[in-house]
Amino acid sequence: MKGTIAKNKVFYCYSPNVQKFLVANDFKVIDCGVHSITKKAYLCFEKSEELDSYLQSWRNRKHAVC
């Protein structure tokens, strides 16, 4: 990562569906990689109140479908 954002201000997203949802809603990917142990790919997004709000709406939508 570029070093401009503190690690605790970064949301690491491993879910392809959540990644697509965030990108579709114009959240900027600040980094990407592969976890060294699990080998799962991830995208990083800068944490914000807006991101928290979208993640909550994703959780609510996910549970509403069941």
The tokens for 46 are: 């800068």
Please compute the mean of the pLDDT values over residues 4-23 and round it to a whole number: 90
CA angle 30, 33, 34 (to 5 degrees): 155
Half-sphere exposure of 28 (CA within 13 A, CB side): 3
pLDDT band at 7 (very low <50, low <70, confident <90, very high): low
User: By the 8 A CB rule, do 42 and 35 touch?
Assistant: yes
Please compute the mean of the pLDDT values over residues 1-16 and round it to a whole number: 79
pTM exceeding the 0.95 threshold for the entire prediction = no
